[in-house]
Amino acid sequence: MGPRRRVLKNAAAEANQFRSRSAIAFACVLLALAGLALWYFRLQVWQHADYATRSEANRIKLRPVVPGRGLIFDRKGRVLADNVPAYRIEVTPFEAGKTAAWLPALSQIIALTPEDIERFEDERRASRGFKPITLKLRVSEDEAARFAVDRWRYPGIDLVSYLNRRYPQGELMSHVVGYVARIDAEDMKTLGEGNAALTHIGKTGLERYYEEALRGKVGYEQIETNVDGRPMRQVGHVPASPGTDLRLSIDLDLQQAIVTAFGEFEGSAIAVDPRNGEVLAMVSLPSYDANLFVNGISSHDFKALNENPSRPQFNRLVLGGVAPGSTLKPLIALAGLDSGLRKPEDRVLSTGMFYLPGTSRGWGDAARGGHGWTDLRKSISQSVNTYYYRLALDMGIERFDDYMSRYGFGEPTGIDLTGEIGGILPSPAAKAKARKERWYPGDTVNASIGQGDWKVTPLQLVRAVAGIADGQLHGPHLVREQRLGFEGAWTPVAPPPAQPISPNPANVQVVREGMMAAMQPGGTGAAVARGAPYLMAGKTGTAQVVSRRGTAAVHPKSLPMHLRHRALFVGFAPADAPTIAVAIAVEGGGYGGSTAAPIARKIFDAWLLGKMPEPMPSDPASGPSPATPATVSPYPAGRGAGVRAERNDGAAGPATPAETVASGSNVPAHNVSVDPAVERSAVPSSALRAPVDNAQGRPSPGGRREPPAQPQAPEPTR
């Protein structure tokens, strides 16, 4: 090989090449820097809000602040519903992980029932994983202390303090105040996401009616946390608005007096101030402890309540209805005066039996042989049925219904409680709808003494009798005053507007005089008014539960408790300047004059004299008489026994055609003639002249069945 050729360097070319490469590299660096600058600009400017929010979310947690639920007081400031400090365990599923990883160990620290776990699993499946779910309410202080020590072992599980609802009066106020219970899925749909932090909501009574005002408005606080999620300090907050406190017109002493006066009897009673419609006391017996429902009632307690034939949860004041019996007579008398069909001095002859033209079976009066010539005042004081038979027929059912609806029957009173029924106003349309039957004159006769298809609530009765006492129909109401926050001033709650019960005050006065005479010697309620230092006005009544055949008088004490008549009383006192009006319905009480009226006397004494009553002795239930089949009810005789009656032939059903008069008027073949002495002494079952005809019970509100008040027989003795 020859010598290698030497290549000469081109300095200019190399310099050009270097400059080109340097320029390209510099451009790349500039582009990279520009991209980095744009990236930083994007992070720091364009997406600043997003990343700042994410950063704050890692450091700051929003914790809802549930407001204290409004308190409820009676008229004297005594607490009926308050809040007590408590702890609960909340779990955030997304942070806590699978249940199997932490539940067994947590169960060693906190006592968890199968119901607690089942409820938690149901809520976990139905909710989002990042929302806290309550595992257990009412954690004890010992459990809270043990959990606090091992809190770090359970991420996503927190011990939360809150205010738990409590009802210091227990059973005494449960049907009025009601109760709160845990929120379910249906409640959350109504409340919305803004109230997701709430755990309880009003379910019954005032708690439900005033739910929005009582619960207040949820607030929030911003909590700074460390890397472990533990709170360090509060950095901001939106204050919660407390719930509204309510002061009721209810007087706790009078409420207790009514319960004591009832003794072992079941039924309902309500007392109002006739001057303004304020409810002074209202009782439905038997009752229940509202505290059982606050944090979830146990299956054992729930079963015990549901299987109790006396239905403690059933509010007889707003949901229950009875035939009003003779308590309706003062109002029918007022309708006769206002319609111009009667004057106070107009008289009707009572011979003991009343017959429609063309009929051989009739309706009886309370006194054997009749009451003789009877004017309006006497018709009320001695409860003369014949006076009202004739008056109702002269009025006609259409005009009769018109006046009864003016007095508030057939529609709710509008009291501040949910679920109130309107009852039943007897009419041709109502009968055709219920039984597909036409209206007969005999139906009008039955309606004239508060029997037949009538169904009224104690609220309707007390509103009407308070209207007679005051001359104005006031809407009954419970809340007297309210305030926002503990430091707020109490402000009165405007009562519902009132309306005159009659365009002629003189007519009302005549009816008052008749009711006053009923409590004087010779009247049906004279015995209970004896010795009272004040004047009373009232009207006794009896609502029959079972029907009968023939002319036999069936004394209620010869029947099992659940088939006895309902004893009723309405009245007011002092009669010359009324400050209290009452309506009382005693289930299985027999007659109004012997059972309901003495209870009313004790209520009047408690309110007017401050004299608390002694318990009323209960009337032991009698066993079935020979005339009453032993299979009449699947329940034993006694308090709360039986919610359904059956016929003597063993088949449940209405009366047969043979039990009515085949005269074209379809007048029920039932009449009653009872000596007034019958009420004072029990009639032996062997003295009954006809068997009892037990008609099929009608469904009551809520799907329950109860023995109906029969339309065919007039009231025996008041």
Active-site positions read 326
Beta bridge pairs of residue 182: 200
d(CA 214, CA 204): 13
Please give the backbone phi and psi of residue 633, each rounded to the nearest 5 degrees, phi first. -150, 145
CA nearest 319: which of 240, 248, 412? 412
Pairing of strands 244-248, 491-492: unpaired
CA nearest 312: which of 179, 494, 440? 179
Radius of gyration of the chain, Cα coordinates, nearest whole angstrom = 37
Pairing of strands 266-272, 580-587: antiparallel
Burial (0-12, 13-18, 19+ Cβ within 10 Å), 143: middle
d(CA 183, CA 534): 50
Asked if residues 714 and 446 have their Cβ atoms less than 8 Å apart, the reply is: yes
DSSP H or E stretch at residue 135: strand 133-139
SS3 track for 637-671? CCCCCCCCCCCCCCCCCCCCHHHECCCCCCCECEC
Helix locations, 472-581, DSSP H: 505-518, 526-529
DSSP-assigned letter for residue 327: G
d(CA 271, CA 281): 5
3-state secondary structure of 382: coil
Asked if residues 448 and 392 have their Cβ atoms less than 8 Å apart, the reply is: yes
Asked if residues 459 and 476 have their Cβ atoms less than 8 Å apart, the reply is: yes
Pull the structure tokens for residue 196. Answer: 């997701």
What residues have CB less than 8 Å from 512, skipping those under 6 apart?
Answer: 468, 469, 537, 575
DSSP-assigned letter for residue 703: G
Burial (0-12, 13-18, 19+ Cβ within 10 Å), 330: buried
Pull the structure tokens for residue 386. Answer: 């014949």
Pull the structure tokens for residue 24. Answer: 């390209």
Pairing of strands 133-139, 79-91: antiparallel
Asked if residues 683 and 520 have their Cβ atoms less than 8 Å apart, the reply is: no
Asked if residues 628 and 547 have their Cβ atoms less than 8 Å apart, the reply is: no
Please give the backbone phi and psi of residue 615, each rounded to the nearest 5 degrees, phi first. -55, 140
Pull the structure tokens for residue 238. Answer: 């939106």
CA distances from 573 to 82, 436, 533, 535, 559 (A): 34, 44, 11, 6, 34
How many other CB atoms sit within 10 Å of the CB of residue 572?
A: 28
Taking the CA atoms of 332, 400, 404 and 672 in sequence, report the sign of the dihedral they define: positive
Asked if residues 501 and 467 have their Cβ atoms less than 8 Å apart, the reply is: yes
Distance of CA 641 to the CA centre of its chain: 22
What residues have CB less than 8 Å from 295, skipping those under 6 apart?
Answer: 137, 138, 164, 182
Residue matched to tokens 């309707």: 460
3-state secondary structure of 232: strand
Pull the structure tokens for residue 89. Answer: 């365990």
Assign 3-state DSSP to the chain and report helix, strand, coil percentages, each to 5.
Answer: 35, 20, 45
